[in-house]
Amino acid sequence: MTSIVPLVAECEAEFGSIKQTPINDKRLVKARKFLNHGVDPFENIEVDFDVDAAQKMLDKGLYKQDIAEFLNTKPYKINRLIYKGVLDDSKWLKNKSDPKTCRYVFYKNGDYQMRGTMKEISALTGISVSSLKGFRTNEYKKRNHRIRYRLVEID
């Protein structure tokens, strides 16, 4: 093979862009091997935990951080396996798209306070849910406050 242009063109014609092409598509694997001297960098994935157990937990909607703690690994390793196509988080994403079930970390003046859903944080802090939502806006973040609150979404 002298060029990967035809492979890329085929992938773009079928999927719209090379970024939309599934990571394990044969043409994409061939192109990666061509660019990396015959080695596919996604082939050698070192996994130090039970992938099937991680997949079952993802499907049940457990949080990635909790899965990583249970499997005694780091959350970035789970995310890397999702990116590489070893784990599928489509069911997990469907569950997490509901704002009522999204979890957040709550900070006051840069100090960690708690984590939970907006409803849980509201109940424990006495701050209304609408105020908590306001803490996430760019307008709030730009203003100077005597007490500064931050609400960061976690997965």
Domain boundary among 97, 116, 132: 97
Q: What is the pLDDT of residue 12?
A: 86
Q: How confident is the model at residue 152 (pLDDT cuts 50, 70, 90)?
A: confident
Give the domain range for residue 72: 45-97
Domain boundary among 97, 112, 137: 97
Tokens matching residue 81: 């396996």
User: If you ran DSSP here, which 8-state letter would residue 50 be given?
Assistant: -
Measure CA 79 to chain center.
Answer: 6
Same domain, 86 and 49: yes
Higher pLDDT, 13 or 100: 13
- Alpha helices (runs of H) in the chain, residue ranges in sequence order: 5-15, 26-35, 51-60, 64-70, 75-84, 90-96, 118-125, 129-135, 138-142
Same domain, 50 and 37: no
Same domain, 72 and 113: no
Q: Kindly report, residue by residue over 115-128, the tens digit of the pLDDT.
A: 888 888 888 889 99
Same domain, 54 and 88: yes
Higher pLDDT, 41 or 8: 8
Q: What is the pLDDT of residue 85?
A: 77
> Is the pLDDT assigned to residue 11 strictly greater than 80?
yes
> Is the pLDDT assigned to residue 1 strictly greater than 60?
no
| Sign of the alpha-carbon torsion through 60, 67, 135, 94 | negative
Q: What is the pLDDT of residue 45?
A: 63
Same domain, 112 and 129: yes
Phi/psi at 86 (5° precision) = -75, -40
Same domain, 29 and 50: no
Count of domains for the chain? 3
Q: What is the pLDDT of residue 83?
A: 76
Q: What is the CA radius of gyration of the chain?
A: 21
The pTM score is: 0.42
